[in-house]
Amino acid sequence: MRWGLHPRGPGAAALAAARNLWVPPRLRCRPGWQGTTGRLLVRSVTGASNQLQSSNNGRYRDTVLLPQTSFPMKLLGQQQPDTELEIQQKCGFSELYSWQRERKAKTEFCLHDGPPYANGDPHVGHALNKVITEITSRQRGRQRERGGSGLPDPETMTQAESRGFNPLSHPGAPFEIFLNSFNRERECTSRGEQQAEGEAGSLLSVDLETGTCAHPLTPHKDSPLLPANHVTMTKGTGLVHTAPAHGMEDYSVASQHNLPTDCLVDEDGVFTDVAGPELQNKSVLEEGTDVVIKMLQASKHLLKEEKLVHSYPYDWRTKKPVVIRASKQWFVNITDIKATAKELLKKVKFIPGSALNAMVETMDRRPYWCISRQRVWGVPIPVFHHKTKDEFLINSQTTEHIIKLVEQHGSDVWWTLPPEQLLPEEVLSQVGGPDALEYAPGQDILDIWFDSGTSWSCVLPGTDQRADLYLEGKDQLGGWFQSSLLTSVAARKKAPFKTVVVHGFTLGEKGEKMSKSLGNVIDPDVVINGGQDPNKEPPYGADVLRWWVAESNVFTEVTISPSVLNAARDDISKLRNTLRFLLGNIAGFNPETDSVPVNDMYVIDQYMLHLLQDLANKITDAYKQYDFGKVVRLLRAFYTRELSSFYFSIIKDRLYCENADDPKRRSCQTALAETLDVVVRSVAPILPHLAEEVFQHIPYAKEPKSVFRTGWIRTSSIWKKPGLEEAIESTCAMRDSFLGSIPGKNAAEYKVTLVIEPGLLFEIIEMLQAEETSSTSQLNELMMASQTTLLSQEPRSTTTDVIERKGTFLINLEGGDIREESSYKVIVTPTTKEKCPRCWKYTAESPDALCPRCSEVVSGKSWTS
C-alpha cells in the first residue's frame, strides 16, 4: 500500500512520470521524474503551532504515545566528565586500537603520529593537535587500521631509551646513509638554540671597498672594509662592526672573503684566555662590557659613551639576552637531496595546498642540516674524538658494535660504560688499546628532529610503503615533516607520506599568542574537568573540547575562550535534545520486524531518507578531506533545520496519536531509526562519548553495543529519489504562503484550499492526497492545517473572512530538461471544527468529542502509558 497515492485526475503520461517520484531510480528510457539534486531547500515550520507536547494533560493522557527513553536531557556540571569517564571504561576505549588490528583488515590506514611535546604539561595547543589526530583515527579506524605513533617524550627516554636508537639498529638505515655526508664545520649557534639577525646599516660605497680600519685595541691589526647585502640604507650609519664568530650574516661575509672565525667566548658566555688577561673569565654581557669601555678609554679611542635601546635577540623561554657564538657541529649537506625531495613532494597531497609552497621555501633556505646538539639528554652521536688531534673515529665497525650494545643495554651505555668497551676489539687494538686509548666518546647528541625524522623506518616496514597521513602544526614544515622527508629520500628515494595535514596554532580570545610566561595558557585538563572555582572554570568535558577543535578552521590560527567553549556546549546540547527525541520515539520499535519498505513509506519519510543519503555522502567525503569544520556545519544544519525545525514538527501527531503499530507510525519510526543511526555514526569521531552514550540507550541495539565496533555509516541506494524534492519543496512553498497569511496564529485553527492550475505541479501534489478534502492525508500533515482541499480550479463561492495568497513554482526535473512553471492560489479560512481533547487538532465535531481518528484509535485499541 502507498499512502494516499491514488491518482484521480487526467493526464496519464504525467501521472506515469509522477509515480517515478516514489519508486527506486531505474535506467532511463524516456524522461522521468528524477529531479535536480542541486536544491535541498527545506523550510522550517515557522508560525505553526506545536501543542502535542502538552496533549498528555487530561483524561486521554495514557492513550498518547509520548517519547520514552532513559537518555538524560542534560548532564550538569561534573556529570559531564564523570559520564565520559564511565563511557570510556564501559565501551573499552583503551582497547579499540588493539581490537582494530586484530580484525586484520585487507587495507591498513597508516596515520603516523607526530613527535610529542618535549616537556611540561600539555596545553590546549597540544590538545588541538591530538584531537585532530584522534578524530581522524576514529573515523578511519572503523574502515581501515591505524599506524604507529612517533617517538617517546624525551623526559621518558630512560623508559624507552632503546627505541630512540632504532635508526641505528637496521642495516642501511638513514644514519649510515648520512654518515658519508658528515662535514665537521663551524656554525653560528647560540645559547638557547637561537639565531639572530645582524646589525643593520647601509651599503659601503665602491670607494670604501678596498679600504681598511685599524683595530683600536690590537696594534698593527687592520680590518678590511667589505660590502654586504644585509647592510641597508634605511638604518644606522652604513658602517657596521663584523664579528665572524658571533652572527649569521657576519659568518657568511667572513666565509665569502676567507676571514678567520676566531671565537673569544666560551659556552658559558665569558671571554676565553685568547681575549687577553683583562677580559678573561669576564661575562660578555655584564662586567665584560664595562672592561671593554675602560680599555677604549685608556687607549684614547672612546669618542662617546651612551646607552641606546635597540633590537637584540632574546631567549623566548628565559627572556634573557642571547650570546651568538660559533661552535663545532655535525652537518649534513642536503644540496643533492633537495632536488629529488622537491620532485617527490609534487606527488604528495598537502592540506591546505599552500603548505606545499611553504615547505619548499623553508627547504630552499636550508643548504645544510645541523644534526648535533649539546644537551644532557638524548641519543648520542656515536663518534669518538682524538684526545690531542682534531680527528674523529666512526665507521661501520664501530657503529655496528654500538648498535649491539644499545640493543642489549639501552642508549645509556654511551655514558655509563668505560670508553674501551664502546669500541670493538679489532678497532681498539689499532687506537692504543684499553690502557692507552687515544680516543674519547663524543658528548654531542642527535638533533631530536633527526631522531624523530627517521621514525618512519620503524613504522613503515616495507621499503616501498608510505604512511597515508602525517599530521602536525605548521611549525613542522621546517621540522618533522622536513626531517622525515629528507631522511626517507636519502635512504630510499621515496617520500614517507602520501598526505600531509598542517594545522595552525591556538590563540587567546583577542588573538594574542599563548605563552606560559604571559600566563594565558589554557590547560585542557581544566577545560575538561574544571578548575578550583567551578563558576569561573566549569567542567566542560572532553566532547566540548573536541567539538571546538572540529568546528574551527584549524588550517589557520584558532582562538579559544570561555565564550567559544560555551557556544560549543550549546551546540552539543541542541544535538543531545535531537538525539533524545529520536531515542524516545523508537521505543517499542524493532527494525527487523517493524520496518516499512521504502516504497511504502510516507513521502515525507522517504524524503528524509533521501536527505540522509546525501548527508552521509557529504560527511564521509568531508572526513576524507580532513575538513572536520564542514562535518560540523553539515550536521548542525541537518539537526537544527531539517530535523528539529521541519521534520519533527510535522510528524509528532503521527508518532503520538496513531496506534502503536499503525503502518503510518511505523513508516515514521523507520525513518527515525535510520536517521539516528546515520547521525550517531557521523558525529562519533568528533563526539565519541556522546555517540557511545546514545548507543547504550538504543532499545534494539545488539552486542557489541559500541558505535566504533559496528562499522561506518550505512545507507541504501534506493533512498536516493531526487524527484521527491519537487514534491516537498512545492508543498513547503504553498505552506509558507499559508503560514505567512496568519502570522502568530495557530495553523491548526484554519482550513486551507490549494488551487493549482492543471499541469505537472497539480499531478505531483495530487499524489499526496487522494480525496479532494482531507484532515488525515499526507498533504494535510505537511500543511499542518485543520483540513486541506486540493482543487484544479477556483471554488464557486468563498466566505467573507477568506485570506488569499498567490504564487508560482518552477518544476525543474532531469537537470533542466523538464521545466514547467505553475501558478497556485492559497485560500485560508477559519475552521468550523472544534479542538480534539486528545490530539489537540481542530478536527472534532464538538468541544468534548474526540475527532474521528482519535475516536477510532481509542475505542479500538488497549493502551499502555
Report pLDDT for 422: 95
- Residue partners of 551: CB distance under 8 A and separation at least 6: 568, 571, 628, 629, 632, 633
H or E element in which residue 549 lies: helix 542-551
What is this structure's pTM?
0.80
Report pLDDT for 91: 93
User: Which segments of 275-430 does DSSP mark as H helices, in order?
Assistant: 287-298, 335-345, 354-364, 396-409, 413-416, 425-428
Cα distances (Å, whole numbers) of residue 290 to 243, 293, 296, 305, 334: 19, 5, 10, 11, 43
- Residue partners of 441: CB distance under 8 A and separation at least 6: 380, 382, 384, 385, 414, 419, 422
Task: Give the number of other Cβ atoms within 10 Å of residue 361's Cβ.
Answer: 12
- Residue partners of 246: CB distance under 8 A and separation at least 6: 188, 263, 265, 323, 324, 325, 326
Report pLDDT for 207: 65
Task: Give the number of other Cβ atoms within 10 Å of residue 700's Cβ.
Answer: 14
| Residue 167 pLDDT grade (very low, low, confident, very high; cuts 50, 70, 90) | low
Residue with cell 641505528: 168
Q: Does 537 score more than 50 pLDDT?
A: yes
With vertex at residue 842, the alpha carbon angle to CA 841 and CA 848, rounded to the nearest 5 degrees, is: 95
What is the three-state SS of 550-563? HHCCCCCCEECCHH
Q: Does 815 score more than 80 pLDDT?
A: no
Read off the pLDDT of residues 295-353 as tens digits, 9 standing for 90 and up: 999 999 899 999 888 888 898 778 889 888 888 899 998 988 999 999 999 999 999 99
Q: How far apart are CA 330 and CA 320, in angstroms?
A: 27
Phi, then psi, of 542 in degrees rounded to 5: -70, -35
Q: 623: burial class by Cβ within 10 Å (0-12, 13-18, 19+)?
A: buried
Residue pair 843/853 in contact (Cβ under 8 Å)? The answer is yes
- Tell me which of 29-33, 322-326, 609-613, 709-713 is least confident: 29-33
Could you tell me the three cell numbers for 181?
655526508
Q: How far apart are CA 285 and CA 312, in angstroms?
A: 12
Q: Does 565 score more than 80 pLDDT?
A: yes
| Residue 812 pLDDT grade (very low, low, confident, very high; cuts 50, 70, 90) | confident
Residue pair 608/671 in contact (Cβ under 8 Å)? The answer is yes
Average pLDDT, integer, range 178-182:
35
Torsion of CA 753, 756, 761, 765, to 10 degrees: 20
**What end-to-end distance do the CA atoms of the chain give, in Å?**
30
Of residues 176 and 542, which shows the higher confidence score? 542
Query: How does DSSP assign 789-850, residue by residue?
Result: EEESS--S---TT-EEEEEEEEEEEGGGTEEEEEEEEEEEEE---EE-TTT--EEESSTTSP
- Tell me which of 518-527, 531-540, 637-646 is least confident: 518-527
Average pLDDT, integer, range 823-837:
95
Residue with cell 661501520: 396
Q: How far apart are CA 674 and CA 598, in angstroms?
A: 11
Q: Does 758 score more than 60 pLDDT?
A: yes
| Residue 796 pLDDT grade (very low, low, confident, very high; cuts 50, 70, 90) | confident
Residue pair 521/124 in contact (Cβ under 8 Å)? The answer is yes
Q: How far apart are CA 417 and CA 21, in angstroms?
A: 81
Phi, then psi, of 222 in degrees rounded to 5: -105, 140
Half-sphere exposure of 860 (CA within 13 A, CB side): 11
Read off the pLDDT of residues 577-630 as tens digits, 9 standing for 90 and up: 999 999 999 999 999 999 999 999 999 999 999 999 999 999 999 999 999 999
| Residue 118 pLDDT grade (very low, low, confident, very high; cuts 50, 70, 90) | low
Average pLDDT, integer, range 755-778:
94
Query: How does DSSP assign 164-178, residue by residue?
Result: HTGGGSSTT-HHHHH
Dmax over Cα atoms in the chain, in whole Å?
121
Report pLDDT for 290: 92
Report pLDDT for 399: 94
Report pLDDT for 855: 94
Report pLDDT for 104: 73
Phi, then psi, of 667 in degrees rounded to 5: -60, -45
Of residues 625 and 122, which shows the higher confidence score? 625
Of residues 309 and 27, which shows the higher confidence score? 309
Could you tell me the three cell numbers for 848?
468534548
Report pLDDT for 48: 52
Task: Give the number of other Cβ atoms within 10 Å of residue 468's Cβ.
Answer: 19
Q: Does 737 score more than 50 pLDDT?
A: yes
Average pLDDT, integer, range 451-467:
87
Q: Does 553 score more than 60 pLDDT?
A: yes
- Residue partners of 135: CB distance under 8 A and separation at least 6: 546, 549, 550, 628, 685, 686
- Tell me which of 154-158, 258-262, 512-516, 699-703 is least confident: 154-158
Report pLDDT for 562: 92
User: Which segments of 198-307 does DSSP mark as H helices, in order?
Assistant: 248-256, 287-298
Q: Does 165 score more than 50 pLDDT?
A: no
Phi, then psi, of 424 in degrees rounded to 5: -65, 155
Most confident of 216-230, 256-270, 318-332, 548-562: 548-562
Could you tell me the three cell numbers for 225?
672594509
Report pLDDT for 318: 83
Phi-psi domain of 275 (left: phi exceeds 0; alpha: psi -120 through 50; beta: other): alpha
| Residue 260 pLDDT grade (very low, low, confident, very high; cuts 50, 70, 90) | confident
Angle formed by the axes of helices 335-345 and 354-364, nearest 10°: 170
Q: How far apart are CA 129 and CA 149, in angstroms?
A: 13
Read off the pLDDT of residues 76-99 as tens digits, 9 standing for 90 and up: 999 999 999 999 999 999 998 888
Average pLDDT, integer, range 395-416:
93
Proportion of the chain above pLDDT 70, given as a percent:
84
Residue with cell 525543474: 812
Q: How far apart are CA 11 and CA 22, in angstroms?
A: 18
DSSP β-bridge partners for residue 501: 351, 471
Q: Does 53 score more than 70 pLDDT?
A: no
Report pLDDT for 204: 41
Q: How far apart are CA 429 and CA 437, in angstroms?
A: 9
Q: Does 754 score more than 60 pLDDT?
A: yes
Average pLDDT, integer, range 379-395:
93
Among 558, 564, 559, residue whose Cα is nearest residue 544: 564
- Tell me which of 168-182, 463-477, 640-654 is least confident: 168-182
| Residue 810 pLDDT grade (very low, low, confident, very high; cuts 50, 70, 90) | very high
Read off the pLDDT of residues 629-651 as tens digits, 9 standing for 90 and up: 999 999 999 999 999 999 999 99
Average pLDDT, integer, range 767-778:
94
Among 494, 489, 488, 455, residue whose Cα is nearest residue 168: 455
Q: How far apart are CA 332 and CA 837, in angstroms?
A: 85
| Residue 830 pLDDT grade (very low, low, confident, very high; cuts 50, 70, 90) | very high
Average pLDDT, integer, range 273-288:
91
Proportion of the chain above pLDDT 90, given as a percent:
59
Average pLDDT, integer, range 388-397:
93
**Element counts in the chain: helices (H) and strands (E):** 29, 23
Strand ranges, E, within 240-354:
324-333, 349-351
Q: Does 210 score more than 50 pLDDT?
A: yes
Q: How far apart are CA 626 and CA 553, in angstroms?
A: 11
Average pLDDT, integer, range 246-257:
87
DSSP β-bridge partners for residue 559: 507
Q: Does 40 score more than 70 pLDDT?
A: no
Q: Does 185 score more than 50 pLDDT?
A: no
Of residues 258 and 171, which shows the higher confidence score? 258
Q: Does 421 score more than 70 pLDDT?
A: yes
Could you tell me the three cell numbers for 188?
653560528
Q: Does 236 score more than 80 pLDDT?
A: no
Q: Does 225 score more than 60 pLDDT?
A: yes
DSSP β-bridge partners for residue 470: 112, 500
Q: Does 152 score more than 70 pLDDT?
A: no
DSSP 497: B
Residue pair 11/706 in contact (Cβ under 8 Å)? The answer is no
